[in-house]
Amino acid sequence: GDSVTQMEGPVTLSEEAFLTINCTYTATGYPSLFWYVQYPGEGLQLLLKATKADDKGSNKGFEATYRKETTSFHLEKGSVQVSDSAVYFCALRMGGADGLTFGKGTHLIIQP
């Protein structure tokens, strides 16, 4: 079946550091890809998305590019802030009966 693999962390960085969270997927077709963020005590918010190969999703300084050849959707940010501390989930959707298929989540901790 479809699956998503991402680094689980926790990932601890200093403020203004460069961030990369790796995400790779396995799917039988061409899914839409998403990054969701969960701040402490809250639900999931959509951070960015890409619906086809070579699309780049971006929001709040975060970017991710849909790479079909490497089945990847890595999340990057050039300069992280303490307020970026959260759990980040990579996910795919094939349009089937399961809704979104999620990775296990990456806990990001940014230290001042």
Strands 56-59, 62-65: pairing kind: antiparallel
DSSP state of 69: T
Query: Which one, 10 or 78, has the nearer CB to another protein?
Result: 10
Helix (H) or strand (E) holding 32: strand 32-38
Residue whose CB is less far from another protein, 15 or 42:
42
Which of left, alpha, beta for 84 (phi over 0: left; psi -120 to 50: alpha)?
Answer: alpha
Cβ closer to another protein: 95 or 112? 95
For residue 34, state whether it binds another protein (rule: CB under 8 A): yes
Q: Does residue 98 belong to the site contacting another protein (CB under 8 A)?
A: yes
Binding site for another protein (CB under 8 A): 31-32, 34, 36, 42-46, 49, 51, 89, 93-95, 97-105
